Amino acid sequence: MNTELLSTIQSPADLKKLSIEALPKLANEIRHAICEQVKKSGGHLAPNLGVVELMIALHYVFDFSSDRLLFDVGHQCYTHKLLTGRQELLGKLRQRGGMSGFPSPDESPFDLFSVGHAGTAISTAVGMARGDTLNGESYEPTTNNDGRRVVAFVGDASIVNGVAMEGLNNAGTLKRQFLVVLNDNNMSIANPQGAIADYFDHLRVGSTYRSMKKAAKNVMGKLPGGSMLEDMTHRMTEMMKDAIFEDSWFEHFGLLSVGPVDGHDLPSLIEMLVEVRDVDRPLLLHAHTVKGKGFEYTEQNATKFHSPKPFDVKNTSVEMQPSGRSFTSAFADSLCDLMLHDEKVVAATAAMPGGTGIDSALEKFPNRVWDTGICESHTMDMLAGMAKTGCKPFFAVYSTFLQRAFDQAFQEVALQGLPVRLCLDRSGVVGGDGAVHHGFCDIALLRVLPNAVLMAAIDEPTLKSSMTFMASYNDGLTALRYPRDTVREHAPDCPSFVLGKAHQLRKSASSKLAILGYGTTAIDALNAADRVDETAIDVYDARFAKPVDGELIERLLTNGTPIITVEEHSIIGGFGSAVLEEAARRNLDTTLITSLGLPDHWIGHGSRAEQLAQTGIDAAGIAAVASRILSSIETEAPFVVTK
């Protein structure tokens, strides 16, 4: 693909030098550049293909070296990055030293927030708008024409998120320029859910839908004086607004509303943005786009190509890079098996049916499984209500999104003693998505809840066994964590889960050291023991972070056996902290305990293997610590953790 235009764009200033007639060619070059790279590295493909024209138009009209651009659902930022001087980073997309898949202030001042969760852009944009006003830096049509304008870019159905609603409610109170660009692609990550999504469907197919150019001319022609910029908010009557923006749901929040309009018509997009850029009150531009725009296979299956693994296109067929069986697939099969044998089991996810694997259960049991859309708080409360009626609810959710519903886990689940079951996919480090998606704090969050039971799977048999335990446990909240990884085989035996009891994976000859691995780190601990001295190291699958196996801890420490705890979770507040607290509660020698986990700093994007090695919780890192402890035992010297 010829990229003669794209290669000339090192900043938005270069973009502005191009004629409007040249921009569709640039859009095609950007699409091909993004697609070719995602084929190699994986990444968010369909969302970025759908916003190319919108991003070009925004950067063509606004000056985001001064104006503010806030992203919602930050995975739609690739075109923005290519237009702001980061083309050389694209070749290592989502890899260490390359381009992050999300906005990142560390990369560029054009990125204002590191953001990967939905619903945040409007609220942070309101905050920047208020701050700029207080600082005397905001755009004012008569007193500060060079001041900062504010744009919130919202897409992939995140407008239905509760936080977005709160942001809209406050945006309408602003007395200054404020633009919300709604990228309405009729999609979330999967199909959109709920009444608001139905409203948008009605709006797109109803009489209010018009082309961008027609909308612009219609608006301009009906305004007094013929200019949207001249006395718009003061002279437009309610009747005129209703005629131009009929059925506008957003006007109830206090925002003028334009659209829906064609989000792929570059000349008309630019024409409209020039007109709305200087409106001195909150306004929403509703743009309709096609998710996956530009390639037949992405347009026809935007969900599959939302965030694909590396793939290849041969003739008309698409071949995904092969990979092993994932924990997500293992969970999906286990859930379906539970639902088949127990009609009380129900399940839900918040806009992630494919990502969590719950889509297979949704297909087989459509009356007992729900995708609620991007609303984790609602999902948690809905399942609490179902638990109150005697159902056995399972909530399939990424660990990083669980924290959005912590208040509900506290108030409506744990405080009530209700048995809602949390299945935490993507727990631990997540590879290319980086810091915005690492599942590093779920243990710390949930461990404070009285009577909560926290578990981790090390392989498919333990995942199945733990889910069976969860289905039969009715005394309160339970949670199971597992990583974004393939399932590894380690041993054929898997005894049933017993509350608060670890399972010994290896008994050594001399038992000089014990490693308690929580989750898949237990398998890495086995490999570490092989590297160091399998005759001296006992290895345990800890299974529970709450309650921990206090009897095992007491037995080991009473015998003077040093313990290494290993977890793919923050070292603060995690499984290791729980072991230390239990030892202290029993008046045992806590100096014999060494805790390994994720450090107290952010971990950048890269491969999972690199991230685990970087944090010292892979087999090599565990082996290094185990070797030093055994050496200190042999020399009778005190061991001090230096990592």
Residue 282, preceding bond cis, omega within 30 degrees? no
Which residues are CB-contacts of 291 (< 8 A; sequence separation ≥ 6)? 46, 47, 49, 50, 156, 185, 186, 187, 298, 299, 302
* Angle of CA points 268, 272, 276, to nearest 5°: 170
- Residues β-bridged to residue 262: 288
Q: DSSP state, 281? A: S
Q: Are 557 and 589 in contact (CB under 8 A)?
A: yes
Active site residue 291: yes
Of the candidates 29, 53, 275, 376, the residue annotated as catalytic is 376
Residue type, 462: T
50 closest CA partner among 272, 292, 285, 281: 292
Torsion angle, alpha carbons of 381, 382, 385, 389, to 10 = -150
Of the candidates 291, 368, 392, 447, the residue annotated as catalytic is 291
Residue 246 corresponds to which tokens in the numbers above? 């009929």
Show the 3-state SS of 143-172: CECCCECEEEEEECCHHHCHHHHHHHHHHC
Query: What gap in Å lies between CA 565 and CA 616, rounded to an integer?
Result: 12
Q: At what angle do helices 52-61 and 23-41 cross, to 10 degrees?
A: 130
Beta strands in 31-94 (DSSP E): 68-71
Q: At what angle do helices 460-472 and 327-341 cross, to 10 degrees?
A: 40
451 closest CA partner among 393, 492, 513, 500: 500
Of the candidates 31, 404, 543, 546, the residue annotated as catalytic is 404
Residue 352 corresponds to which tokens in the numbers above? 């992630």
The sign one gets for the Cα dihedral 151, 155, 159, 164 is negative
User: Which position has the token pair 């230096």?
Assistant: 642
At 475, give phi and psi (nearest 5°): -95, 5
Cα–Cα distances (Å) from 100 to 41, 77, 103, 176, in that order, read 12, 10, 7, 33
Residues taking part in catalysis: 291, 376, 404
